[in-house]
Every structure is written in structure tokens, then in C-alpha cells.
Chain A
Amino acid sequence: MTEIRRWVSGGSAWAVLIALTLVLLLQRDALPWAIRFPDGWAVPLTPWLNAGMNWVIDSFGIYFRAFSDQLSVLMRWIRDGINSLPWAAIVALVAFMAYAVSGWKLAVFSFAAMFYMVLIGFWTEAMNSLALVALSVPMAVIIGFFTGALGFASDRADRIIRPTMDMMQTIPAFAYLLPILLLFGFGPVVGLIASLLYAVPPMVRNTTMGLGAVNSEVIEAGSMSGATRRQLFWRVRVPSAMRQILLGVNQTTMAAFSMVIIASIIGGTADIGWEVLKSIRRAEFGESLLLGLVIAFMAMVMDRLTAQIARRDTSGPEALEWARPRVLWLSALVLAIAITALAQVLPFLKTYPAAWEFYPAGRLNSAVQYIVTEFTVTINYIKQVAFFFVMLPVKMGLEKTITPFSWGFAFTDTLKIGYAVAVLALAALSWQRRSWRAAALVIFFGMLLFVGITGMPWPALIAMATLLAYQTGGRRLALGMLAGLGFLLLAGVWEEAMLSIYLCGLAVLFCFLIGGALGVLAAEFDSVSAALRPFNDTLQTMPLFVILIPFVMIFKIGEFTALLAIIAYAIVPSIRYTEHGIRSVSKEVIEAATASGCTPLQLLWRVKLPLAAPVILLGLNQTIMYAIAMLVIAALVGTSDLGQLVYIGLGDGDFGVGIVAGVGMAIIAMLADRMTQAMGGRPK
């Protein structure tokens, strides 16, 4: 038994698997099933799921509809309420709130951001989105708080809640939409419920974490002050955890908003997300840019406001000495009433006159058009290089990519042999210089590049992934890997899954290299750090949609654009965590190393990076999660992976297809997450 275990943990297992791969590859004409999993072998999950869904709708549909009707009523009230207020009152209220929680700077910014929506004439659409957020956030906060408190109070509940929350956040947004649509009916309610589902998990996590992290002495002090159990919870534990809980509110708000925007894809919502999508689809770049800015501004205002409230909490009433809550609410009320009254006299405060609007979409369009035509050659060149020399080889393999048309020469047998020799030489070198692990890695990627990710035999890939999982995380992880990949295979979405991994993998690789380099620079130079911060902040709060816009504008629709959009979104954690990791290396260690005569470069490579490795790895983990989240959105600009399948499922109203692909993506995300975590935990 231990013999086997030792063998599995060692290098010879890899040798066997690599040999197996080679055999399968050499015999691939005789064994086509090893490359393409035959459709006939797949389990017909989709029809089963559809049948199940139909049954649920037939039996319980009315209840869901009744619930959604109630919600619709509530939502209409809020919408009407917001719409009946003059725009000037709302703009003033938001600015006032910003002033109250933070000060003049945020107030001016909020005012400008809100006024922009009025100025370009999309106030009503923006407010329709806001109404959804205004309803879903309080609901998500309440549900999330109590669920989180339950998870805190009972370990058994926590064991159920935690994975459920993971699931809810990793299943891609689009995959939610269809079942909700089927159950609850068409309309803005879908957006509401989807955003609720998506926004609850951060609240739950932060609540459980915050409540658990309260200093035990504070709790004991509360008990010794004679608190009853209820007092101990509401007057000691909850207020002490308030900062974390408010951070949860911030994240929940952002998640809710981002989902509200995504949900507009089903249409019929008359909100700002729908307008943006419409213009992206019509390739109206000026419009998408102007409207995308509305979303960006809304996100920024919401983020800064809620984040500021969380930050302010325990630091006492510094920002506004006079602002006792009562005074604050009263002033806000007076302000709103005053402006509403004033709007009776000055009607332009209520309805902004169309003549005063400023909507330079046409001019922007021609500007973009001009730039794109001016630089066509460069743009196309970039696209083609990336496509032929990076993306296609990984996807389909060098053997199919190298043609006289793309590379300028054919991949002759001599060249193939040369390639094989080069790979082997490199492998031998890495074995000698580093370890057998490095050699195995080289050979693996050598094969991968030759046949492409879609040309690799699945039995070998599954075996290798399982072995890797076993060696990094032990038996349970290996079993999870086997089960997860088995699902992808048997559900018949193996190829799409591999394409997802290809797109994500490339994006993550770029993010890790470029983001890591930027992070190092930011850690070394304060000026770089300061320059990157607003860029990072903005990218992180931006609803995913908006990130697509500039890339579509320049590179048009296609896989390359998708790749760039994913990179743009997923690079942020790589930068942030690397910077943070390096900056938190203890001063003493650095001084000790400097005193022993390290050059700055040695200091970086031999001291800072190794010490920061766990944090950087955490950044890698986050980068992967972000990349997978963006993958689905990227489907809008044309990909052929699981994300596309989710999107197709939604478009065709095919519940089964969408949910299988969605669960597939969640599986990939969770496996990647556990793998990187296991790597971080592995003692070196």
C-alpha cells in the first residue's frame, strides 16, 4: 500500500503518463475516441434536465409566479417613487450623502457623475437600474446577514452554507438567468432575483467572518458586564463586527449592480444595461462609450459611498462633527422637499429639457471610425500575430497552424523532427538544471503545443490532472478532480471546457506575467503604485460589460477581443496581490539581506519574491476566478467555449444546455481554486 503511495507521489508516475499520452497521440488515427469523446457515450443530461425543469414549472410554477407578482408590485412602487422625484432632488441627495460620509471631494464627484446622466439624456434608464439595486440590496443585506449569523452560530449550518455560497458565486451569471426566467416570468423581476442570488454571498461571508473575528476579550467583557445572550449578540458582537459587515454591504451593492446590468441581456427592462447592450450589438461605439460611462459612474458613486461608510464606522464621528444621524436624516429630508417644491416653479429641475442635452455620440463615432481606419494596418498586424503565433497554436496545435499562408512556410516532417528534438533537449536541460518536474512540464507543453489543447487525448489529460491533484492536495482533491472532469466529459462538453481552459489559461498567463511585473514595479516605486491605483480601482468596480466596449471598438468582435477583455479584468488581482505581498515582507529581513550584501536585484529574486510567494499565489487564485467570471461575458463578443454555450442556452431558452455549461464553468473555477489553494498550502 505504502509502496503504491510512494510510487504515485514520485516522478515515475509522470513518466508513465507522458508515455501513455505519446502512445495515444501516435495511435490517434486508430483510436479517434481518445481525442474526441464520442457523442454516443455522453449521458443525455440536457433532455433530463429540461424534463425536470418542465416538471418543476408545471407543479410549482404558480407559486413562483405569485411571488414574482408581489415583487413586481413592490418594484413598481420604488420605480414610480424614484421617477416622481425631480432629478435635481436625487442628484442633490446623492451629493449630500457623499458630503455627509466623506466630504467635499466625493460630493463634487458624485454631483458631476449624476449630472452626467441627466446631461446625456439617459436619466430615466439610469434610475430604472437604480430602482432594481435599491430593492435588491436591502433584501440581499437582510437575507445575507441572517444567513451569515446562522453560519457563525452553528458549525453544522456553516458546512452547508459555505459551499452553497461558493456555488452561487461561481456559477456564471448568465446560467442563472434562464431558470429564473422560466420560473418567475419575463421582466425586470428576473434581474432583481438574479442580482439577489448573486449579491447575497458576499454579505454572508463577511457577516460570518466579522462575527467570528470579534476579539474574545471584548465578548468576555460583554458577558462580565452582565449581558444576556441577546444583548451580547446585538450590542456587543454585531457592533464590534460592524466594519466587516459594512464591507459586506459594499461588496453586496457592487455585486447587485453588476448583476442588474448583466441581467438586462434578457431585455424588456428599459434600463441602462439594456441600452448599452443594444448599442454594442449595433456596433455603435460612440453610444456604447457614452452609456458605458453612465454605468461606470453609477458603480463608482455606489462604491465610494458604501466603502466610505464602512471605513468611517469605527473611527468615530470625524468627518462631520455635527452629523448626528437624526440631524442628518432631517437635513436630507428638508433638502429633498425644498428642491421638489422649487421644481414646481422651475420645471426644468423636474424634467431636464431635451434641448439642453448633450449627446455627442455621432461625433465620437466618427472619431473612433477615423482612428480605426487610420491604424487599420497596425491593428490587424497585432491581431494576426497574436492569433497565429499565440492563440491558434495553443488551441489547435502547431501541426495545423503552421502553413505557408500563416507562418510563411509549411510544417514539413524534417521540421517536426527538429521540433521534437528541441523539446527533448530542453527537457533534458531542465532535468539537469532543475528537477524531473520541470522536465515533465516541458515535455507536456511540447506535446500540447504540437497538437493543441483540443487535440490532446482526454484519458491522458484526466489522468495527469488527477495525478497533479493527488500530489498537491492529497486523495480528496484527486477524487474531486476526477469527478469534476468526469462530469465535463460525460455531459458532453469536454471540447468546450478545454476551449474555456485555453482562453482562461492564456489570459491568466498574461495577467500573471504582466500583472506580476507591474506589481513588482508598484512595490518598488511609490509613483508607479500611485499611478496604478485609480486604474485598478476603476477596473474592479466596473460592471463586466463595460470593459468589453473599448476592445470591441478597436479590435471588433472575435476571440482576440475576448482575450483582451478577460486580461483587462483579471490583471487587477495579480498587480494588487504582488504589490501587497512584496510590500509586506518584513523590514528586518530586508535589512538583514542588504547587510549580507544583496544587490537590489538579488534582493528581489532571492528574498522578496520567495517570501511574498504565498500572497502572490493568492493573487493567482483570484486572477483565475476573475478570468472565469469574465469568460461568460466575453461570450458576447464571440467565443466558442462553455461561456458561449451558456449564452446560447439563454438565447434559445434551452435550460439544460445553459445549466450544464454553467455548472461546467463552476466546476472548472472550483477545481482551479482548490488546486491553487493546495499549492499555497504545500510546505516547501
Chain B
Amino acid sequence: MPDDDTPRSNTPEPKLVCRNLWKVFGTKPETWFKDQDALRDPASLAERMRDDGLIPAAVDVNFEVAQGEIFVIMGLSGSGKSTVLRCLSRLVEPTYGEVLLDGEDLLRKSARELIEIRRHKMGMVFQNFGLMPHLNVIENVTFPLALQGMPEKERRKRVENVISLVGLEGREDSYPHQLSGGQQQRVGIARSLAVEPDLWLLDEPFSALDPMIRRQMQDEFLHIQSTLKKSIIFITHDFLEALRIADRIMLMRDGMVVQIGSPVDLITDPADSYVAEFTRDVPLVRVMTAADALAPGGAQETPEGLPEVDSTATLEDLLPQMAGRHDSVIVRKGDRVIGQVTPESLIDALAKRTKAHDAAMDEDGSEIAKETA
């Protein structure tokens, strides 16, 4: 699990900024954005659009992605995840808003500039791989380079290490239909990395794979990221997947952002019942870390000679160590001791978070009851 003690989103220059982004499908959606006042209440504006037969797929979306961060977008099917992602690359033309990549507004770029940006700064991976059926593995991977007119020898050299990074050596001459789903997605990943992009977009890259392969691919993905350190936007609707890879998660519903936060925040401090529902099946002990269950008092009064754990250890790891003991466990972060976990503090932390979670679910339950009344 990535360390989120020093939130990267606080670094001065975010890689990507998305401000007040709207995408409305339908006829003449621009006319709705003339009135600046209406924009202050995006929810009701979107409602009125729906009543008028338009489809607001992204509604006033705001977020930032830091350098090297893995930013995960989640939400139910149809909640607008893919739309937001495609707006960022302008595969879908946003209706309103701003997208800044390295501080430059993408939406102002001409078609030509956009092609240059796609050729050097962005890579994208697709749910169903999007491979060219008529090209073999190496031709697929080098396709973006071929489009730039790079000679064949040089192309092959450029992608040598990408091919080995995704483990496709020896399959260079196969055609997509001769590969398994996992292998095909490796090709998709390799192709998206061929241009050495800074911003890496992945739209449910592992959803079409079966669970075993999916897990393996997640591991490889994390391995790739640990060597390449890209800025990543990753869509999934598998919360456990998000949990494994995300620095931060953005949850969407009906085109709107419901909550942005670390995985633990989402579970332990859900904004509403929708979020709570989403995270309901995740066992708290797997998400919360030793750092989340520190006893009050901090690092001062820690006795000597107790077992020590790292601050990123999950409570699940901690439990066997605590079993049958009445004293505590020392928590370290690097060389520094940051506190201790006692049996009471552990139970307190779990109880507090569970209560918050249940409260969020109840709150909306009563709201629904009110509505139906």
C-alpha cells in the first residue's frame, strides 16, 4: 500500500488539473452554459438538462493529479468515469471547463498540437485492449512510433525494454487473436508506454480478465509504476483493486464527484450512503493501518522492549501479534517511533470507524424514507 502520510497532492505543481469539467451529450448543450449564475448550482442544472432530454455524463468535475500519483476513478456503470477520462485526452470533446496538463489548457490546443501531445505526453490503455487486428505484437506496440514516421529499426530499439517490462519477449510476431486476454492487455500496456508518456490513462484495464490474471496484472502494474513513476489516472469498479493500487480515489455518481480521498478516508469517513455502500464489503482491518490506530499520547511514553511494526502494517497484520497480550506494540515510521497501538486503541479505532460508516448509511436511509413519505 502506498504511503499517504505525506500527501503528494500537496506538491506545488500538479501534473493535471481538471476544473469545472462538464460533458453533456445531446443536441446543442452549449446554450445551457451561457448563464453563469446557473453554473453555481451544478446539481440542479444537470437535473434540468436531464428533464430536457440531454445526458449530462460529467457534471462540474474538479480534481488534481500530482506528479507520480495513482489517481483512481470509481463509480457504478454509467456514472461517467470513461467520459471524464476521455475528456482529459479529448477523445471526447468537453462541453465546458478546463483541463490543465503541466499548466497548459488542453482544451485550447489545436488538432495539430493535440496530436503532438498524444504522441509524446499521453498513453492510454483500454478495457477491451483496442489492438489493431491486422498488426502483430511488435507492430502494435510500435504503432504510435510508426505514425511519427520513425524508421523500423529505431522503433524496435525504442520498445525493447517496454516489451521486456511487460513480459512479452518471444511473442513479438504473434497476432492479437493468437494471444490470451492477459497477453493482449500486456500488448495494450506496452503500446501505451511506447511513447514514454508522463500521463498514463487506464480505463478498466483489467476488467476483462479473470480474477487470477487480474491480480497478477495488478502486481505487474505496480512493479512497472515503481520503475517508471508516471502520473496515472486509473478507472476501475473493483474496490479491492482500487485499494491495492490507489493513492487517492475519486468516487462518481450520475456524472458528479461524490468524494475524493485516500482509500481509508472513503471507508472510514464516507461522505454519504452511496460511498458507504460502495465500501461496505471491505473489511476494515485490511484497510486501516497501525498509524490509524495509535493510542493517544504519541511517541513520548513508549515503554522499551516491546515488539515493533511499521506504520503501514494493516490491522490484519497486527492482530495476530496483539492476540493474547495486554500490552502494546510500538509503531515505527522509518527510523522514528511515532507511537504505540494498544488493544484498547485498536478496538476504539475500529469501533469509531464502523460507527461513522453505519451512521452515513443510516443518514441517507432516513433521507430516502423522508422522500418516499
A217 within 8 A of B: yes
Which of B89, B129, B132, B134 meets A224, CB within 8 Å? B89
Q: Known: A215-B128, A313-B134. Is A224-B177 also a contact (CB below 8 A)? A: no
Which of A225, A229, A313, A316 meets B143, CB within 8 Å? A225
A223 to B147, CA, bound (A): 10
Interface string of A218-236 (1 = CB under 8 A from B): 1011111111110100011
A239 to B143, CA, bound (A): 13
A314 within 8 A of B: yes
- Give the nearest-CB partner of B145 in chain A: A225
A229 to B148, CA, bound (A): 13
Q: Which residues of B contact A240 (CB under 8 A)?
A: 132-134
Quick check: B124 and A314 within 8 Å, CB to CB? no
Interface 9-mer from B49-57, B64-72, B115-123, B289-297: B115-123
A215 to B188, CA, bound (A): 15
Q: How far is the CB of B83 from chain A (nearest CB, A)?
A: 13
Q: How far is the CB of A183 from chain B (nearest CB, A)?
A: 42
Q: Which residues of B contact A228 (CB under 8 A)?
A: 115, 147
Q: Which residues of A contact B132 (CB under 8 A)?
A: 218, 221-222, 236, 239-240
Quick check: A220 and B91 within 8 Å, CB to CB? yes
A242 within 8 A of B: yes
- Give the nearest-CB partner of A216 in chain B: B130
A59 within 8 A of B: no
B278 within 8 A of A: no
Q: Which of B317-366 contact A (CB under 8 A)?
A: none
Quick check: A316 and B136 within 8 Å, CB to CB? yes
Q: Which residues of B contact A225 (CB under 8 A)?
A: 118-119, 143-144, 147, 191, 195
Which of A217, A226, A229, A314 meets B134, CB within 8 Å? A314
Quick check: A227 and B147 within 8 Å, CB to CB? yes
Q: Which residues of B contact A596 (CB under 8 A)?
A: none
- Give the nearest-CB partner of A227 in chain B: B147
Q: Which of A88-132 contact B (CB under 8 A)?
A: none
Quick check: B123 and A217 within 8 Å, CB to CB? no
A586 within 8 A of B: no
A231 to B144, CA, bound (A): 11
A315 within 8 A of B: yes
Which of A217, A226, A235 meets B115, CB within 8 Å? A226
B126 within 8 A of A: yes
Quick check: B126 and A226 within 8 Å, CB to CB? no
- Give the nearest-CB partner of A214 in chain B: B133
Quick check: A224 and B147 within 8 Å, CB to CB? no
B302 within 8 A of A: no
Interface string of B192-208 (1 = CB under 8 A from A): 10010000000000000
B131 within 8 A of A: yes
Q: Which residues of A contact B20 (CB under 8 A)?
A: none
B175 within 8 A of A: yes
Q: Which residues of A contact B122 (CB under 8 A)?
A: 224
Q: How far is the CB of A491 from chain B (nearest CB, A)?
A: 43
Quick check: B134 and A242 within 8 Å, CB to CB? yes
A530 to B89, CA, bound (A): 52
Q: How far is the CB of A215 from chain B (nearest CB, A)?
A: 7
Q: Known: A217-B127, A221-B126, A221-B191. Is A226-B133 also a contact (CB below 8 A)? A: no
Q: Which residues of B contact A226 (CB under 8 A)?
A: 115-116, 118-120, 144, 147-148, 195
A313 to B132, CA, bound (A): 13
B36 within 8 A of A: no
A408 to B148, CA, bound (A): 86
Interface residue total, chain A, C-beta cutoff 8 A: 23
Q: Which residues of B contact A313 (CB under 8 A)?
A: 134
Q: Known: A217-B130, A313-B134. Is A223-B177 also a contact (CB below 8 A)? A: no
A183 to B215, CA, bound (A): 71
A520 to B188, CA, bound (A): 44
Q: Which of A204-221 contact B (CB under 8 A)?
A: 215, 217-218, 220-221
Q: Known: A224-B91, A240-B133, A314-B134. Is A217-B126 also a contact (CB below 8 A)? A: yes
Q: Known: A217-B127, A217-B129. Is A224-B192 also a contact (CB below 8 A)? A: yes
Interface residue total, chain B, C-beta cutoff 8 A: 34
Quick check: B136 and A220 within 8 Å, CB to CB? no
Quick check: A239 and B126 within 8 Å, CB to CB? no
B6 within 8 A of A: no
Quick check: A224 and B124 within 8 Å, CB to CB? yes
A225 to B155, CA, bound (A): 14
- Indicate the member of B126, B129, B136 with the most A CB atoms within 10 Å: B126
A285 to B191, CA, bound (A): 64
Q: How far is the CB of A25 from chain B (nearest CB, A)?
A: 53
- Give the nearest-CB partner of A314 in chain B: B133
A229 to B147, CA, bound (A): 11
- Give the nearest-CB partner of B175 in chain A: A316
B178 within 8 A of A: yes
Quick check: B131 and A221 within 8 Å, CB to CB? yes
Which of A223, A231, A242 meets B91, CB within 8 Å? A223
Q: How far is the CB of A266 from chain B (nearest CB, A)?
A: 43
Quick check: A221 and B134 within 8 Å, CB to CB? no
A236 to B122, CA, bound (A): 19
Q: Which of A626-677 contact B (CB under 8 A)?
A: none
Q: Which residues of B contact A218 (CB under 8 A)?
A: 130-133
Q: Which of B96-138 contact A (CB under 8 A)?
A: 111, 115-116, 118-120, 122-124, 126-136
- Indicate the member of A221, A223, A228, A316 with the most B CB atoms within 10 Å: A221
Q: Which residues of A contact B116 (CB under 8 A)?
A: 226
A528 to B306, CA, bound (A): 82
Quick check: A224 and B148 within 8 Å, CB to CB? no
A217 to B132, CA, bound (A): 10
- Give the nearest-CB partner of A218 in chain B: B130
A218 to B126, CA, bound (A): 9
Q: Which residues of A contact B147 (CB under 8 A)?
A: 225-228, 231, 235
Q: Which residues of B contact A229 (CB under 8 A)?
A: 111
Which of A217, A223, A315 meets B118, CB within 8 Å? A223
A236 to B132, CA, bound (A): 7
A224 to B86, CA, bound (A): 10
Q: Which residues of B contact A316 (CB under 8 A)?
A: 136, 175, 177-178
Quick check: B130 and A220 within 8 Å, CB to CB? yes
Q: How far is the CB of A225 from chain B (nearest CB, A)?
A: 4
A240 to B135, CA, bound (A): 9
A653 to B89, CA, bound (A): 63
Which of B115, B130, B177 meets A314, CB within 8 Å? B177
Q: Which of A192-211 contact B (CB under 8 A)?
A: none
A389 to B130, CA, bound (A): 62
Q: Which residues of A contact B130 (CB under 8 A)?
A: 215, 217-218, 220-221
- Indicate the member of A222, A223, A313 with the most B CB atoms within 10 Å: A223
- Give the nearest-CB partner of B127 in chain A: A217
Q: Which residues of B contact A220 (CB under 8 A)?
A: 86, 91, 124, 126, 130
Q: Which residues of A contact B133 (CB under 8 A)?
A: 218, 239-240, 314
- Indicate the member of A217, A225, A231 with the most B CB atoms within 10 Å: A225
Q: Which residues of B contact A314 (CB under 8 A)?
A: 133-134, 175, 177
A316 to B131, CA, bound (A): 14
Quick check: B128 and A217 within 8 Å, CB to CB? yes
Interface string of B273-292 (1 = CB under 8 A from A): 00000000000000000000
A239 to B136, CA, bound (A): 13
Q: Which residues of A contact B191 (CB under 8 A)?
A: 221, 225
A313 to B111, CA, bound (A): 33
Q: How far is the CB of A599 from chain B (nearest CB, A)?
A: 39
A316 to B191, CA, bound (A): 20
Q: Which residues of B contact A222 (CB under 8 A)?
A: 132, 143
**A222-B132, A225-B119, A228-B115 known, 4 other contacts, Cβ within 8 Å:** A218-B130, A221-B124, A226-B147, A316-B136
Could you jot down 11 A-B contacts, CB within 8 Å? A215-B128, A217-B130, A218-B133, A222-B132, A224-B118, A224-B122, A225-B195, A226-B118, A239-B134, A240-B134, A316-B136
List residues of A whose CB falls within 8 A of some B CB: 215, 217-218, 220-229, 231, 235-236, 239-240, 242, 313-316
Smallest CB-CB A-B distances: 9 pairs: A226-B119, A221-B130, A217-B130, A225-B144, A316-B175, A226-B118, A224-B124, A239-B134, A217-B126
